[in-house]
Amino acid sequence: MASIRDLASALGVSKSQVGRDVQAGMPTHDVAAARAWRDANRDLSRTVEGRVDRPAVPAADGGVAPDAGPGTVGAAPGGADDGDAEILPDDTSDYRKARTEREQIRRDRERMELDRDRGKLIDAADAARLAFTSFRALRDQAFNLPARLAPQCAVLTDPLQIEQLLEAELTAVFGNFTEDRLLAEPSDDDDPD
């Protein structure tokens, strides 16, 4: 019976992985039997050879360098590990950056959905439509001032009274135009016509 340390060294895996394999039923009397058991019972996608983030190291002749290590194209089976190894190649930084970016995008998307559910976020097309409608109503109210105030200004002779009248009406028009009014759906009653 081989020790866990000897099996780990012969199989090219960690001692903890050998311990888990022994608990799962891997034979410990022979390295060849242990290797055959691992080949039959370990999912290739869960081994170092099955990892997609381990690039092949090209050799000078166009093949794969023999010292490229497990996880490369052309690596000999039998040194399989389920990813428990501590040693990672330097080329995984690109993979990790891409994965980090993907996770950040996913987090941002989930936050936007949450904000939309809470009513803090609206669709850009809806916002543009609301802004257009609100500013159009403001424009119409401002353009209606001369026609509405002309009779009153005609009877007034004091320039100060005309100025106060115009200022009060302009203040009322622009004072009613608030952020709440901008975000409110306009109704048919708001139409100045």
Instruction: HSE, CB side, 13 Å, CA atoms: give it for residue 156.
Output: 14
Is position 169 within any domain? yes
The phi and psi torsions of 72 (rounded to 5 degrees) equal -105, 160
SS3 label, residue 5: helix
Q: Is 106 helix (H, G, I), strand (E, B) or coil?
A: helix
Residue type, 176: N
Q: Is residue 73 part of a domain?
A: no
Tell me, yes or no, whether 80 lies in a domain.
no
Tell me which residue of 170, 185, 88 sits closest to 130, measured CA to CA: 185
Is residue 183 included in any domain, yes or no?
Answer: yes
3-state secondary structure of 147: helix
Is residue 26 one of the residues assigned to a domain? yes
**Closest listed residue to residue 74, CA positions, set 91, 59, 56:** 56
Would you say residue 78 lies in a domain? Answer: no
Q: What is the tally of helices (H) and strands (E) in the chain?
A: 7, 0
**Shared-domain flag, residues 60 and 8:** yes
Are residue 130 and residue 186 in the same domain, yes or no? yes
Residues 110 and 136 in one domain: no
140 in the same domain as 176: yes
* Parts of the chain with a pLDDT under 70: 43-91, 179-193
The whole-number pLDDT of residue 84 equals: 47
Write down the pTM of the prediction: 0.37
Residue-level pLDDT at 109: 93
Taking the CA of residue 29 as centre, how many other CA atoms within 13 Å lie in the half-sphere pointing to its CB?
0
Do 11 and 51 sit in the same domain of this protein? yes
Q: Say if 145 falls within a structural domain.
A: yes
pLDDT at 71: 45
Whether residue 98 is found in the same domain as residue 41: no
Residue 84 has what DSSP assignment? -
Domain check: are 128 and 115 in the same one?
A: no
- 135 and 186 in a single domain? The answer is yes
123: Cβ contacts below 8 Å, ≥ 6 apart: none
Provide the number of structural domains found in the chain.
3
What's the length of the chain?
193
Q: Which domain holds residue 101?
A: 90-121
Looking at residue 163, its pLDDT comes to 92
CA distance 43 to 85: 16
Mapping DSSP to helix (H, G, I), strand (E, B) and coil, where does residue 158 land? coil
Q: How far apart are CA 57 and CA 70, in angstroms?
A: 11
